[in-house]
């Protein structure tokens, strides 16, 4: 199962947690924490986790499943727990669980779980092979299989959308696709050109 003679590494070895207190300057005009602040923290923890596993510099290539389920408040202590869920040849999927704790009331809420695909890079920018993953628990196995499936589905969706973009025409299907949508066509030039 080894690739290019790289020693497999456990999920445990690169598990990473970042904890940060949400200060007033992180808030939006509604008084809640900006989604971008959380995304930046997720990117950081994904970078550390992926670089620990691969022992290389890593870059973010894709982000999946960023649905903010609950707002985060100023004063909350945000924890981001990251672990490598899957490795391909040069890419790694890092799963990140984000929670926010109201420290005075000791209430912890789960805000989101997201998946960052990172690619290991050499000094010259070329993707490099990453070590295989040692799966030590049922959770490790479940996450690996689920991530592998999500990755394959992602490739298929990207391919189909690419074909759709290339083949897009102003035709009756365009009109049908707009039925029931909350939009108004202000310039019908495209539809008239067909």
CB of 104 to ligand COA, least distance (A): 36
Is 132 one of the binding residues for ligand COA (CB under 6 A)?
no
Please, how many CA atoms are within 13 Å of residue 14, restricted to the half-sphere of its CB? 34
CB of 68 to ligand COA, least distance (A): 20
CB of 52 to ligand COA, least distance (A): 17
Out of 51, 56, 60, 148, point to the residue binding ligand COA (CB under 6 A): 60
> Is the Cβ of residue 88 or residue 132 nearer to ligand COA in the bound state?
88
> Is the Cβ of residue 85 or residue 99 nearer to ligand COA in the bound state?
85
> Is the Cβ of residue 79 or residue 90 nearer to ligand COA in the bound state?
90
Is 117 one of the binding residues for ligand COA (CB under 6 A)?
yes
Is 119 one of the binding residues for ligand COA (CB under 6 A)?
yes
Out of 14, 54, 91, 99, point to the residue binding ligand COA (CB under 6 A): 91
Q: What is the 3-state secondary structure (H, E, C) of the chain?
A: CCCCCCCCEEHHHHCEEEEEECCHHHECCCCEECHHHHHHHHHHHHHHHHHHHHCCEEEEEEEECCCCCCCCECCEEEEEEEEEEEECCCEEEEEEEEEEEECCCCEEEEEEEEEEEEEEECCCCCECCCCCEECCCHHHHHHHHHHHHHHHHHHHHHHHHHHHHHHCCCCHHHHHHHCCCCCCCCCCHHHHHC
Is 85 one of the binding residues for ligand COA (CB under 6 A)?
no
> Could you list the residues that contact ligand COA (CB under 6 A)?
59-62, 88-91, 117, 119, 121, 127
């Amino acid at each position: 199962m080894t690739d290019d003679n790289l020693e497999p590494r456990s999920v445990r070895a690169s598990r990473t947690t970042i904890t940060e207190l949400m200060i007033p300057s992180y808030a939006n005009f509604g008084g809640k924490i900006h989604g971008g602040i959380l995304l930046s923290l997720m990117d950081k923890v994904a970078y550390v986790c992926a670089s620990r596993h691969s022992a290389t510099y890593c870059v973010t290539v894709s982000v999946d499943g960023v649905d903010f389920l609950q707002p985060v408040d100023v004063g909350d202590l945000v924890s981001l727990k990251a672990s490598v869920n899957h490795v391909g040849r040069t890419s790694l999927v890092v799963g990140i669980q984000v929670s926010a704790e109201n420290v005075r009331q000791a209430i912890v809420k789960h805000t989101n779980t997201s998946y960052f695909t990172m690619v290991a890079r050499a000094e010259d920018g070329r993707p490099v092979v990453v070590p295989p993953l040692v799966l030590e628990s049922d959770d490790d196995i479940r996450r690996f299989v689920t991530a592998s499936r999500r990755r394959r589905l992602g490739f298929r969706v990207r391919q189909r959308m690419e074909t759709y973009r290339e083949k897009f025409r102003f035709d009756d299907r365009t009109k049908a696709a707009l039925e029931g949508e909350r939009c108004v066509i202000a310039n019908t030039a495209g539809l008239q050109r067909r």
